[in-house]
Amino acid sequence: MSNQNTAPFSLEKSPADKSILVLSGKGGVGKSTVAANLAISLSMQGYSTGLLDTDFHGPSIPKLLGMEGTKLSSSDGKKLNPAELGSLKVISVDFMLSSRTDPVIWRGPMKMNVIKQLFEDVNWGDLDYMIVDCPPGTGDEPLSVVQLLPEPTGAVIVTTPQEMSLSDVRRSIQFCHALKLPVLGVIENMSGFVCPHCGSRTELFGSGGGEKMASEMGVPFLGRIPIEPEIVSSGDSGKPFVYHYGNSQFARDFEGIVTDIVEKVTAD
């Protein structure tokens, strides 16, 4: 797909063969958790993968991956070397701030310039996949990413089952349609809780709303991920979930979703 919205400042070349934006309508629905685990899962499958955190106002990728406080280096004085977690290459604006509590106060054009530099002035190498974690909503950051990348592959949209989250996610889908960015699919996160003691399932926030909404909006549904208490502790302690808890229900459900995404983008 060529980017119909190609702006004059669009990159000449994408750093990756396939680039996937991870979007959500609201914060707190697990978008960064999905972005981080998707990137790790792809890199564990042997794909050369980069993860770019464009959530400038609340970057959570460094925390989720246990990479807080990382300082970036440069081998040639021109381009920055990304931080590395195994073979996964990671860039977050958090790595460039002098203090972790520094707020980022930037207007739209400045954000676009910074995102452009994060694509162009980083030694990404030749990537198979670039996963871009965007802040919630349809603001400057996802718009800049879509306009800068010559051929963005598509978006994965994360929601929780409640109507409160679904109404905002419809806007994210419309945003993709307006920019002619293919929607690879919707993931319903925090969908039900399976009791670790008795195995019974409770639909704490309801269930199935994401699938119904995806079908109403004519976009694919990628699957449900249950509430998994270990995700919270693994995120807080910087242990990427799919890597450390490969046998959990979350990891198994997630693996199926990643396989689906790879098949979709390879078929295209």
Interface ranges with ligand ADP (CB under 6 A): 24, 27-33, 60, 189-190, 225, 227-228, 231-232, 235
Q: Please, what is the minimum distance in Å from the beta carbon of residue 31 to ligand ADP?
A: 3
φ and ψ of 231, to 5 deg: -65, -40
CB 172 within 8 A of CB 24: yes
- CA 78/CA 90 separation, integer angstroms: 18
| CB nearer to ligand ADP: pick between 48 and 55 | 55
Q: Please, what is the minimum distance in Å from the beta carbon of residue 129 to ligand ADP?
A: 19
Q: Please, what is the minimum distance in Å from the beta carbon of residue 227 to ligand ADP?
A: 4
Distance (Å) of CA 60 to CA 20, 53, 94, 175, 193: 18, 8, 9, 23, 24
| CB nearer to ligand ADP: pick between 213 and 227 | 227
Q: What is the DSSP string of 116-166?
A: HHHHHSB---SEEEEEEE--SSSSHHHHHHHHHSSS--EEEEEE-SSHHHH
Tell me how crowded residue 224 is: count the other CB atoms within 10 A of its CB.
18
**Helical pair 209-217 and 163-178, crossing angle rounded to 10 deg:** 30
| CB nearer to ligand ADP: pick between 14 and 223 | 223
Q: Please, what is the minimum distance in Å from the beta carbon of residue 261 to ligand ADP?
A: 17
| CB nearer to ligand ADP: pick between 3 and 250 | 250
- CA 24/CA 202 separation, integer angstroms: 24
| CB nearer to ligand ADP: pick between 31 and 111 | 31
| CB nearer to ligand ADP: pick between 80 and 93 | 93
Q: Please, what is the minimum distance in Å from the beta carbon of residue 225 to ligand ADP?
A: 5
| CB nearer to ligand ADP: pick between 219 and 231 | 231
Q: Please, what is the minimum distance in Å from the beta carbon of residue 181 to ligand ADP?
A: 19
Q: Please, what is the minimum distance in Å from the beta carbon of residue 177 to ligand ADP?
A: 21
Pairing of strands 127-133, 49-53: parallel
Q: What is the DSSP string of 160-214?
A: -SSHHHHHHHHHHHHHHHHTT--EEEEEE-S--EE-TTT--EE-BTBSSHHHHHH
